[in-house]
Structure 1
Amino acid sequence: MSPHRARYARYSGGPDPLAPPVDLADALDVIGQDVMAGYSADHAMREYLRRGSRDQTGLDELARRVAEKRQELLQRHSLDGTLREVRELLDRAVLEERKQLARDLDDDARLAEMRIESLPPSTASAVSELADYSWRSPSARADYERIKDLLGREALDQRFAGMKQALENATDEDREQVRQMLSDLNDLLAAHARGEDTSEQFREFMEQHGDFFPDDPQDVDELIDSLAQRAAAAQRMMNSMTAEQRAELMQLSAQAFGSPALMDELGQLDANLQALRPGEDWGGSEQFEGAQGLGLGDGTGALQQLASLDELAEQLSQSYPGARMDDIDIDALARLVGDDAAVDARTLSELERALRDSGYLNRTSDGQLRLSPKAMRQLGKALLRDVATRLSGRQGQRDVRHAGAAGEASGATREWQFGDTEPWDVTRTVTNAVLRTASEGGQPARGIRIDIRDVEVTETEARTQACVALLVDTSFSMAMDGRWVPMKRTALALHHLISSRFRGDALQLIGFGRHAEVMDIEELTALDAQWAKGTNLHHALLLAARHFRKHPSAQPVLLVVTDGEPTAHLEPDGEVYFDYPPHPLTVAYSVRELDNVARLGAQVTFFRLGEDPGLARFIDQMARRVDGRVVAPELDDLGAAVVGSYLGSRGPGSYREQFGGFYGGGRGFWVDD
């Protein structure tokens, strides 16, 4: 048995080394949704950090906790703690003195009683009145001396945190050291204001008086910053008191340590600091509403806490130019709000850093952030899993990575080539690795390493390639009626399926609004809502036909997603003609191009969004004309309907292999004409 015993304690060496990694997939999904809704990637990331997610606290929630802490400070405390403590000491001193005078029978005792009974009701005035009083009770005299000592320590604690406790039971020698420190400090600050101070002067000051400054400033500017922040908080505390409280404290200050010189030095210090740091908040105030009294030092500390909370709120807002998560003071958040808040903020900061460093976001030449191709693949993968779930109608068999996309096996094998999706022949692959290892002088008994050259795949029968044109409506109505993001999600899911599982197929994305244009998936995903009116199906069909002609050996597949009848067409001179209701010439041009596409052998499917009867009649007639199909899916099922139609066009085998043997059109409504 080991003589050493294990000891357990909270880990305090930085971020938890056993904490799970940040969930970039969840963040990317939310950011991708906002980007597809028309926001910039940078704005989308900021919104995610602000809102958070189901499992991740966002900046808004942290800001709420900061505001709650601030309100708690104001509602719990009041600023009359010193006045209360002075009043208690005074009342106790007066009571003990009365007891002593009642026992004394001389005439001077009667005169003293009259003086005691005629003390003014104001605490400060009573303390001043008793400044030259000859106390008969030793305990009363001690309590009165404690008042002067308390006032001195509180006055110093306002400017130098911790002085109240440090100078408790202080001797005259201790007080003289404080006075000398204040005098030397004022000399240093005055020299600095004139530009005459030296680093040697600062060093000598710290060597002599460094014990008064536990934060260990490294130069005079750090010293001034620290003192000015505290002094400004002290001034804000005085501003937050009532006029009566301020007047009482000003009158009492003359009794501090029984030495007016101390207050003169402190007054000079405040003047020097305010001149050197005019940018500090010297004029602010707060409204304290609680019952727990704070002394001058503790009250000043509370005002500093409030200032720190305000600074944290500004950092958490991330609303200023150049804002970054690294700006947030994690240590201050832990100290003022709690460790949980600090952990949440640190996680958000790591999320931001990971999003920027992982390659999911790229910065363009104009300085804007864009979703990278890597991010597009990740989003497409997630969307395709969702589509698979909707198509299968059940949990399990969701991830297309486990499905084959090849045709029937021919019985032969061949060397793997880039882009192949056929399954590995494991026996041949391992045999190749063993033979290669032996030929290279290795020892297979000690294990082998498979090289890409060893891989053989199962050869399959030739399968027809598809040439796919996805036409998506980008007109005004798509954005207005909430169909913008589902349209983009659909395009991204289909793009990922073809690029990852059917690499031999040729997909072209065509957006059509007032005019049509071919788009990359990144371009379509980042496309802002188009507010120009017009649905130019004619132009889109022209581009689709051109795409089909470029791939004469592939099976053409035309998928059209729209929520409106065609209202625009191209004139012979290339200009766009728009009219609503649809002009007969626009309809005729659209029908003519659809016939041209049909003559190329295209399998046509229309995806009708919305319940407009006119659109339904037009789409039905168009589909019937080319022996096509019509799908009227709900928005949530649009992606499943489009992907299902594409897979269906490749034959039932492809569909079953991709999505676990279930063959159908999703939860859309199929109408075969």
Structure 2
Amino acid sequence: MKRTRYTKFNGDLASSLGLEDLMEALSDFLLDSGFQDPMSQFQELDGDHNMENLREAIRQVLEDGSFLDMEAQEQYEAMSEEQREEMIDQLVERLEQGNFIQQEQGDPSETQSSSGPGEIQQPAPPQGEARFNVTDKSMDFLSYKSLRDLLGGMGRANMGRHDTRYEASGIESSGSSKPYEFGDTMNLDVNATLSSALQREGLGLPLNIEYSDLHIHQSEYQSSCATVVMLDCSHSMILYGEDRFTPAKRVAMALSHLIRTQFPGDSLHLVLFHDSAEEMPIQQVARVRVGPWYTNTREGLRVAQRILARSNKDMKQIVMITDGKPSALTLPDGRIYKNAFGLDPIVLSETLEEVARCKRASIVINTFMLAQDFALMQFVQKVSAMCRGKAYFTTPDKLGSYLLMDFMNRRMKTIH
């Protein structure tokens, strides 16, 4: 008789660690937005994705005391310095083999003379410095973790699950019925059908049921939705002693994973707005850092409208996450008008005019405001009133719950 004997795993410590657990422990380093948090264990690494910083981040995780269990921690502390360095090298190699990171060698001829969309200009890395990129697999994993942390268990949903005030034929009954029309799902309401026949012919046998007597159950008409997340990446998102940008990125990642897995009929797009505005693939949101400085809300709304105009979804919405007042405006000749002091009347009027265009296009604007300035609150409330949207005055730690729970509650209505 064949038997299987189980014995304790005696392999090296690096092979026994789970890569997903390690990625979760490194998430603050991988999602760094440029905020110098004095309480962060990765503060001195500046969010620079070079291989030396990655090794140092792994070293800090292993030495933290909360990642390894007691037995593994004792085993790690008993290692020599050379053994620890070898273990870190093995973990880096496992991350590469698991397609969580991709290593690239720095080109001495490359410089960072200009900053890309949503990034603060950074000095050029040392010549020949080895760097790494976080792969799409890692982004998907971190998105799932963000969603799990924000909402926990998820309910089931199918394509086009947003409730509206309309009804249609289907399998899920809402309690009401209607006369059958050609093309409707034959979800027969027996009671209403018999009642119609009895009212027409009276009580008697046999009961003659005609085409006009047929009634069917109605189900709630559920629609698909096109969503544009407008993410403020102006420099104020990491000023004033608080990181507001990293939580916003985590929420966008979680929303992306939620729509992809629970609402496959929906579409999600990302627009970054700062001095100007541009669309960015939602898969790249985790790699975005803050910058440039100002807040061009009108240009962000313009880009979002162009995206929604080419969408064929029944419902269209803009989810705007910001912490600052509109302070920039793109002029007709392409120049940027900027005023960081107060709600500039020119900027304000042009931004509200763009909001009015959204209203005429039946686009709902839901605003999540990470600031408590009274004048700014009045502006946000006016935007929400114009587009029949909602305004949430929240904090970075509560942003995810407000945004995702609002999306899951499916309280949006299609306006006709």
Normalising by structure 1, we get a TM-score of: 0.42
In structure 1, the partner of 2:147 is: 384
Does residue 614 in structure 1 map to residue 367 in structure 2?
Answer: no
In structure 2, the partner of 1:469 is: 228
Q: 1:575 aligns with which of 315, 335, 344?
A: 335
In structure 1, the partner of 2:196 is: none
Using a 3 Å threshold, how does the CA distance of structure 1 residues 51 and 11 change in structure 2: closer, same or farther? closer
| Alpha-carbon distance between aligned partners in 2 of 1:461 and 1:354, rounded to the nearest angstrom | 49
Q: 2:307 aligns with which of 539, 543, 547?
A: 547
In structure 1, the partner of 2:67 is: 55
In structure 1, the partner of 2:387 is: 626
| Alpha-carbon distance between aligned partners in 2 of 1:552 and 1:360, rounded to the nearest angstrom | 35
Q: 1:368 aligns with which of 131, 153, 163?
A: 131
Structure-to-structure mapping, 1:335-374, within 5 angstroms: 346=87, 348=88, 350-363=90-103, 368-374=131-137
| Alpha-carbon distance between aligned partners in 1 of 2:220 and 2:15, rounded to the nearest angstrom | 45
Structure-to-structure mapping, 1:16-165, within 5 angstroms: 21-38=16-33, 39-42=47-50, 45-52=54-61, 54-56=66-68
Checking the alignment, whether the CA contact within 8 Å between 1:561 and 1:608 is kept in structure 2 is yes
Using a 3 Å threshold, how does the CA distance of structure 1 residues 35 and 556 change in structure 2: closer, same or farther? same
Q: 2:156 aligns with which of 403, 416, 419?
A: 403
Using a 3 Å threshold, how does the CA distance of structure 1 residues 507 and 650 change in structure 2: closer, same or farther? farther
RMSD: 3.5
Checking the alignment, whether the CA contact within 8 Å between 1:569 and 1:586 is kept in structure 2 is yes
Checking the alignment, whether the CA contact within 8 Å between 1:27 and 1:48 is kept in structure 2 is no
In structure 2, the partner of 1:80 is: none
| Alpha-carbon distance between aligned partners in 2 of 1:546 and 1:649, rounded to the nearest angstrom | 24
Using a 3 Å threshold, how does the CA distance of structure 1 residues 646 and 11 change in structure 2: closer, same or farther? closer
Runs of 5+ consecutive residues of structure 2 not aligned to the other structure:
34-46, 107-129, 162-167, 173-218
Structure 1 segments, 4+ long, off by >6 Å, are 8-12, 61-64
Using a 3 Å threshold, how does the CA distance of structure 1 residues 363 and 409 change in structure 2: closer, same or farther? farther
Number of aligned positions between the proteins: 311
| Alpha-carbon distance between aligned partners in 2 of 1:622 and 1:10, rounded to the nearest angstrom | 63
Q: 1:517 aligns with which of 278, 284, 308?
A: 278
| Alpha-carbon distance between aligned partners in 2 of 1:523 and 1:45, rounded to the nearest angstrom | 20
Checking the alignment, whether the CA contact within 8 Å between 1:467 and 1:557 is kept in structure 2 is yes
Runs of 5+ consecutive residues of structure 1 not aligned to the other structure:
1-5, 70-308, 317-324, 329-345, 390-397, 413-459, 653-673
Q: Matched residue of 2:377: which SS?
A: helix
Q: Which amino acid aligns with 2:146?
A: L
**Cα deviation per residue 1:45-65 (whole Å; 9 max; x = unaligned)?**
33431112513289xx99995
- How much does 1:475 deviate? 0.7
- How much does 1:586 deviate? 0.9
| Alpha-carbon distance between aligned partners in 2 of 1:11 and 1:589, rounded to the nearest angstrom | 66
Q: Matched residue of 1:382: which SS?
A: helix
Q: Matched residue of 1:534: which SS?
A: coil
Normalising by structure 2, we get a TM-score of: 0.66
- How much does 1:410 deviate? 4.1
Checking the alignment, whether the CA contact within 8 Å between 2:331 and 2:337 is kept in structure 1 is yes
- How much does 1:528 deviate? 2.5
Q: 1:529 aligns with which of 273, 286, 290?
A: 290
More helix by share: 1
Structure-to-structure mapping, 1:487-498, within 5 angstroms: 487-498=248-259
Q: Matched residue of 2:223: which SS?
A: coil
Checking the alignment, whether the CA contact within 8 Å between 2:27 and 2:142 is kept in structure 1 is yes
- How much does 1:523 deviate? 2.9
Q: Matched residue of 2:231: which SS?
A: strand
Q: Matched residue of 1:643: which SS?
A: helix
Q: Which amino acid aligns with 2:372?
A: E
Checking the alignment, whether the CA contact within 8 Å between 2:359 and 2:386 is kept in structure 1 is no
**Cα deviation per residue 1:83-122 (whole Å; 9 max; x = unaligned)?**
xxxxxxxxxxxxxxxxxxxxxxxxxxxxxxxxxxxxxxxx
Structure-to-structure mapping, 1:159-308, within 5 angstroms: none
Q: Comparing both chains, which one has the higher relative contact order based on Cα–Cα distances under 8 Å and sequence gaps of 6 or more? A: 2
**Cα deviation per residue 1:456-515 (whole Å; 9 max; x = unaligned)?**
xxxx98741111010111011102231121011011111111122222211111111111
Q: Which amino acid aligns with 1:32?
A: S
| Alpha-carbon distance between aligned partners in 2 of 1:11 and 1:21, rounded to the nearest angstrom | 8
Instruction: Tell me which structure has the larger Cα radius of gyration.
Output: 1
Q: Which amino acid aligns with 2:329?
A: H
Q: Which amino acid aligns with 2:360?
A: R
Checking the alignment, whether the CA contact within 8 Å between 1:620 and 1:630 is kept in structure 2 is yes
Q: Which amino acid aligns with 1:383?
A: S
| Alpha-carbon distance between aligned partners in 2 of 1:551 and 1:603, rounded to the nearest angstrom | 14
More strand by share: 2
| Alpha-carbon distance between aligned partners in 1 of 2:29 and 2:336, rounded to the nearest angstrom | 31
Q: Which amino acid aligns with 2:29?
A: D
Q: Matched residue of 2:26: which SS?
A: helix
- How much does 1:610 deviate? 2.1
Q: Matched residue of 1:362: which SS?
A: strand
Q: Matched residue of 1:523: which SS?
A: helix
**Cα deviation per residue 1:543-578 (whole Å; 9 max; x = unaligned)?**
011011001443111111111110001100122111
Using a 3 Å threshold, how does the CA distance of structure 1 residues 650 and 616 change in structure 2: closer, same or farther? closer
Does residue 638 in structure 1 map to residue 391 in structure 2?
Answer: no
- How much does 1:11 deviate? 8.1
- How much does 1:591 deviate? 0.7
Using a 3 Å threshold, how does the CA distance of structure 1 residues 493 and 11 change in structure 2: closer, same or farther? closer
| Alpha-carbon distance between aligned partners in 2 of 1:490 and 1:628, rounded to the nearest angstrom | 19
Using a 3 Å threshold, how does the CA distance of structure 1 residues 10 and 29 change in structure 2: closer, same or farther? closer
